[in-house]
Amino acid sequence: MKIIEDIISTIEKSTQDILVKEVRIGPFWTGVWSKYGGLASTTFTHEPTMPPPIREAGNLTGKSILELCNYANSDCLLQASVGMAAINSALEVDLNKCQNINAAEVLYEKGKNKKVVVVGHFPFVNKLRELTKELWVVERKPQSGDIPASEAKRVIPQADIVAITGTALINGTMGTLLSWCPEKSLVMVLGPTIPLSPVWFDYGVDLVSGTRVTDPELVLRLVSEGVVFKQIHGRGVKLVTIQKES
């Protein structure tokens, strides 16, 4: 995916000599510790007859972080999860341009009386539904009130605000979803998988809401103990948003 390649190109020079210190793959989150700590959603499908989901599993520690970053474009979902966490662990983030607010707060404010599409079922969608004029939650595995992913092409062009989960980077749908966003809509990408990079602004994104790991050792332990994100919130991570300059 071109956006992934463009983000990797911004860190190639600064990470040439950076090695992977540790990789943890939990049931919900994948963590990589290199220059910094990075998270991504753990996403995978695997059957016993399939080849190993990560071709060099057991030998990732000590590898070049750039090698793991390039996993992000893998067709194997679990390998792509490791790749996205690796990118987030290597990325330099300009904290002076970050606002200490999370995606839910931004959507509560911006989404009032607007038509909103959220790709991915987030814990905040029920409250958001009370504030919006109309809310479509697009989900590959729809829950009550959601619509299936096949409906995304129909509803996204109708939206005033579109918020897209970082998991769309792992499953390869991000580029297509962004292409359906109306030119005048406010576009947000969100979640711990999302790299906090200004490269997004070249792709029509207005707001980038992600997670900065501040205590990699703690966060990797929590990942391996099977925490969901609300159990990590406030424990070694900071939720931040960067906004496109007008």
What size, in residues, is the chain?
246
Q: Rounded to whole angstroms, what are the CA distances from 137 to 47, 73, 111, 123?
A: 29, 26, 13, 11
Which candidate, 77, 152, 95, places its Cα nearest to that of 120?
Answer: 152
Q: What is the pLDDT of residue 55?
A: 87
Q: Quote the tokens at residue 86.
A: 């690796």
Which residue has 């939206």 as its token pair?
Answer: 159
Q: Are 73 and 125 in contact (CB under 8 A)?
A: no
Give CATH 3.30.390.100 domain extents, the chain: 2-92
Are 64 and 18 contacting, i.e. CB atoms less than 8 angstroms apart? yes
3-state SS of 129-169 is HHHCCEEEEEECCCCCCCEEHHHHHHHHHHCCEEEEECHHH
Q: Which two tokens stand for residue 218?
A: 């703690």
Helix (H, G, I), strand (E, B) or coil at 112: coil
Quick one: CATH architecture of 2-92? 2-Layer Sandwich (3.30)
Under CATH, which number does the domain 96-214+233-243 receive?
Answer: 3.40.50.11590
Smallest CA-to-CA distance from 206 within 178, 168, 170 is with 178
Domain with CATH 3.40.50.11590 in the chain: 96-214+233-243
User: For residue 216, what pLDDT is reported?
Assistant: 98
Residue 97 DSSP class: G
**Two tokens at 49?**
């007859």
Number of Cβ within a 10 Å radius of residue 64 = 16
The one-digit pLDDT tens for each residue of the chain (246 residues) are 999 999 999 999 999 999 999 999 999 999 999 999 999 999 998 888 888 999 899 999 999 999 999 999 999 999 999 999 999 999 999 989 999 988 999 999 999 999 999 999 999 999 999 999 999 999 999 999 999 999 999 999 999 999 999 999 999 999 999 999 999 999 999 999 999 999 999 999 999 999 999 999 999 999 999 999 999 988 999 999 999 987
The three-point CA angle 111-114-117 to 5° equals 75
pTM of the predicted structure, to 2 decimals: 0.96
